[in-house]
Amino acid sequence: MKIHVLGSAAGGGFPQWNCNCPHCAACRNDHPDYQPRTQSSIAVSANQTDWVLFNASPDILQQLKAFKTLQPARALRDTAIQAIFLMDAQIDHTTGLYMLREHRQPLPIWCHPLVRDDLVTGNPLFKVLSHYCGVDWHEVPLTPTGFDMATVPGLHFAALPLISNAPPYSPHRDQPQPGDNVGVTLTDTATGKTLFYAPGLGAMEPHVWQAMQSADCVLVDGTLWSDDEMIALGASAKTSRSMGHMPQSGPGGMLEWLDRLPAHTRKILIHINNTNPILNAQSPQRQELTRRGVEVCFDGMDIDL
């Protein structure tokens, strides 16, 4: 399977439009140790013709321009995106759907019913889209056996509930329910290779850990380095964990978990917030990742599994 990283940043992107933290300021001024990043999204295909888009970021038009494979030009109006899988209902993962409103058919969207609920109420994207192309909604079940998409051959999907957080406009904010946030194991049915993808992961649970241990590659939450990163910077009063993102460092942090994975597992961070020191390619934190065999996603990265 081919995985193309369309965007690697958390909500806000990098640099964030209104942020003058040292990282955003340096990136804006073209400092060589920083790379700009759009908001997180990946595209995956087994046959390199039919692609599933994971999340639709506000930066989607820029991302599609940069990845021409998704425009095969077989007809006047065309796309290689055969399905759109939403992991949650957050703004940074859904508002790109508005930019796809010119689609000639209803958008084939796969998400959990709780995510759909938020997208018809608190953030009523699906209602607005009904005045354009409309939405062809498919339920993402949380069954371990998983499911297939007829339009995306060669891939098998198994979604699992995660502890993260529901969006501020959800009735479940700060009390997330199973389905508000999901992770997914993607299997290439021809090769048996697997990817575990979870751009928002707030706490480790046994079923999540099991899925990570079984995967050939884990592409997981890299939002913040430390739990109090936003507080220390004066950027926010929220901890990483309260936002539903496990920090990388510290006891019980993501790095401790990644260290315990089998040696052959490829470990990659995505959804990186603009305050995270790992965005500086020369930072001690980034060097620590390298030492521990953990990669940092970048926009345009290709992962072959």
**Interacting residues toward Zn ion by CB under 5 A:** 19, 21, 24, 274
| Dihedral sign (CA 77, 80, 82, 87) | negative
Please select the residue that binds Mn ion; options are 1, 7, 11, 86, rule is CB under 5 A.
11
CB of 271 to Mn ion, least distance (A): 6
Is 90 among the residues that bind ligand MLT (CB under 6 A)? yes
Is 161 among the residues that bind ligand MLT (CB under 6 A)? no
Is 66 among the residues that bind ligand MLT (CB under 6 A)? no
Work out the burial of residue 244: count CB atoms within 10 Å of its CB; fewer than 13 is exposed, 13-18 middle, 19 or more buried. buried
Nearer CB in complex with ligand MLT: 15/200: 200
Burial 101-132 (b: 16+ CB within 10 A, else e): eebeeebbbbbbebbbbbbbebbebbeebeee
Q: Output the CA–CA distances (angstroms, integers) from residue 291 to 51, 250, 259, 286, in the order listed.
A: 34, 16, 11, 9
Is 180 among the residues that bind Mn ion (CB under 5 A)? no
Taking CB under 5 A as the criterion, which residues in 78-137 touch Mn ion?
A: 90, 92
**Cα–Cα dist 61/100, whole Å:** 9
**Among residues 214, 226, 232, 231, which one has the least CA distance to residue 251?**
226
**Among residues 88, 146, 86, which one has the least CA distance to residue 110?**
86
By the 8 A CB rule, do 27 and 279 touch?
Answer: yes
CB of 275 to Zn ion, least distance (A): 5
Number of residues that bind ligand MLT (CB under 6 A): 8
Instruction: Sheet with 182-188: list strands edge to edge.
Output: 147-148, 155-161, 182-188, 194-198, 217-221, 266-270, 294-296
Stretch that binds ligand MLT, among 86-94, 100-108, 121-129, 201-209 (CB under 6 A): 86-94
Stretch that binds Mn ion, among 9-17, 18-26, 107-115, 172-180 (CB under 5 A): 9-17
Is 91 among the residues that bind ligand MLT (CB under 6 A)? yes
Q: Which does 91 bind (CB under 5 to 8 A by kind): ligand MLT, Zn ion, Mn ion, none?
A: ligand MLT
First and final C-alpha spacing in the chain? 5
Stretch that binds ligand MLT, among 88-96, 102-110, 150-158, 212-220 (CB under 6 A): 88-96
**Cα–Cα dist 10/16, whole Å:** 10
Nearer CB in complex with Mn ion: 181/249: 181
Please select the residue that binds ligand MLT; options are 59, 63, 79, 92, rule is CB under 6 A.
92
**Cα–Cα dist 32/116, whole Å:** 41
By the 8 A CB rule, do 277 and 21 touch?
Answer: no
Six token digits for residue 112: 């959990």
Q: Which does 83 bind (CB under 5 to 8 A by kind): Mn ion, Zn ion, ligand MLT, none?
A: none
The binding track of 240-279 with respect to ligand MLT, each residue x by CB under 6 A or -, is ---xx-----------------------------------
Q: Under the rule (CB under 5 A), what is the footprint of Mn ion?
A: 11, 90, 92
Q: Under the rule (CB under 6 A), what is the footprint of ligand MLT?
A: 10-11, 90-92, 200, 243-244
